């Protein structure tokens, strides 16, 4: 499916700045844009990528004026964030229209249903469904009541426990373990605010990529990307009840304890350690080898590797302990004479 800038501008009511006949076939984030991709710029934080992206088309606000030369064709719209929501919905509808008639029949017998390809040595439990286009590698253990969606790729020696759901187009590497109830590839939490106070859903067209030797705990959810991929790098270990939002990237060999939450487009470096109930804000970058005490909250970039953080807002361990000592002392007051007299009466 290829669309020209002219077709897209007509659909979105935008003005073309550049080549109206340039074509695109898929959306992408502006920092990763390649030829044939359409991206958008709504957050000034990402303006620097406009001048370096290889994307063919970029949606921008009409109020935006570039400071440098832009190689991509731009389509100026009233609200780039809302326009991208409309665009992704349009892409999604065009994609769905090609899959009509490909419904999987409901099976109520005590068997599994395999529509994809499964290699030798893999065991599949009862009531498991593997949809068309999915591929499962060798020597896997797929327990009962697992759902593996269209075009999912599962590597070798993977263990998937009961009740796991892997949505369409996601990728799972070799030697991974997914524990019961975890969900891979649910929609990211993306909604564009409208003038009337309601919200328009932004279609989540990306996927989740889980590299080799990753373990994901029970009832943890890893959301698919709005565009591109949510990426869990090699060797990551996620505990139970963790929320990983869309377009997050977790660096290799990072360990995250239960009930932690990572907001959209956050990037964690390799070998980080997050204690339980840690909260990471969206669109921030965390240096490698950063350690978080339980209940730490970080809302801005942390650029110095190898430090231990705690508290909310997060600060280094020594800074926190000095601040806590001062705070504790500020609350200590001597009893007044009146209080002393009352105590002796």
Q: Which residues are catalytic?
A: 246
- Phi and psi at 237, nearest 5°, equal -125, 120
Interatomic CA distance for residues 38 and 288, integer angstroms: 31
The set of residues, in sequence order, having a beta carbon less than 8 Å from that of 227 and lying 6+ positions away, is 27, 28, 29, 39, 88, 205, 206, 247
Measured CA to CA in angstroms, residue 315 lies from 281, 296, 318, 320, 330 at distances of 15, 9, 8, 6, 20
H or E segment to which residue 310 belongs: strand 308-310
Do residues 55 and 45 make contact, with C-beta atoms less than 8 angstroms apart? no
For the chain, the helix, strand and coil percentages under 3-state DSSP, each to the nearest 5: 15, 30, 55
Measured CA to CA in angstroms, residue 113 lies from 99, 106, 143, 145, 151 at distances of 19, 9, 13, 10, 15
First to last CA, the chain: 88
């Amino acid at each position: 499916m290829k669309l020209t800038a002219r077709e897209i501008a007509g659909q979105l009511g935008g003005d073309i700045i550049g080549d109206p006949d340039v074509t695109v076939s898929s959306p992408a984030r502006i920092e990763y844009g390649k030829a044939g991709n359409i991206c958008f710029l709504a957050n000034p934080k990402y303006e620097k990528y406009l001048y370096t992206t290889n994307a063919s088309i970029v949606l921008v606000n009409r109020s935006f004026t570039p400071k440098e030369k832009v190689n991509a064709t731009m389509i100026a719209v009233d609200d780039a964030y809302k326009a991208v929501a409309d665009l992704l919905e349009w892409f999604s509808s065009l994609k769905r229209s090609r899959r009509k008639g490909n419904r999987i029949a409901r099976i109520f017998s005590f068997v599994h249903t395999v529509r994809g390809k499964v290699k030798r040595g893999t065991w599949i439990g009862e009531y498991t469904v593997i949809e068309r286009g999915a591929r499962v590698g060798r020597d896997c253990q797929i327990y009962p009541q697992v759902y593996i969606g269209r075009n999912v790729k599962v590597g070798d020696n993977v263990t998937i426990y009961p009740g796991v759901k892997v949505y369409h187009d996601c990728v799972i590497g070799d030697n991974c373990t997914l524990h019961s109830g975890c969900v891979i590839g649910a929609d990211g939490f993306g909604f564009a605010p409208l003038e009337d106070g309601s919200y328009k859903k932004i279609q989540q067209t990306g996927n989740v990529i889980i590299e080799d030797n990753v373990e994901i705990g029970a009832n943890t959810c890893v959301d698919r990307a709005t565009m591109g991929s949510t990426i869990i790098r090699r060797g990551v270990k996620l505990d139970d009840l963790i929320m990983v939002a869309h377009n997050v990237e977790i660096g290799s060999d990072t360990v995250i304890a239960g009930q932690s939450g990572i907001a959209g487009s956050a990037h964690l470096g390799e070998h980080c350690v997050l204690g339980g109930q840690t909260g990471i804000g969206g669109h921030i970058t965390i240096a490698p080898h950063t350690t978080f005490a339980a209940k730490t909250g970080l809302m801005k970039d942390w650029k110095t590797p190898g430090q231990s953080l705690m508290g909310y807002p997060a600060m280094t361990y020594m800074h926190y302990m000095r601040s806590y000592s001062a705070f504790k002392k500020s609350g200590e007051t001597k009893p007044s004479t009146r209080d002393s007299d009352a105590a002796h009466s």
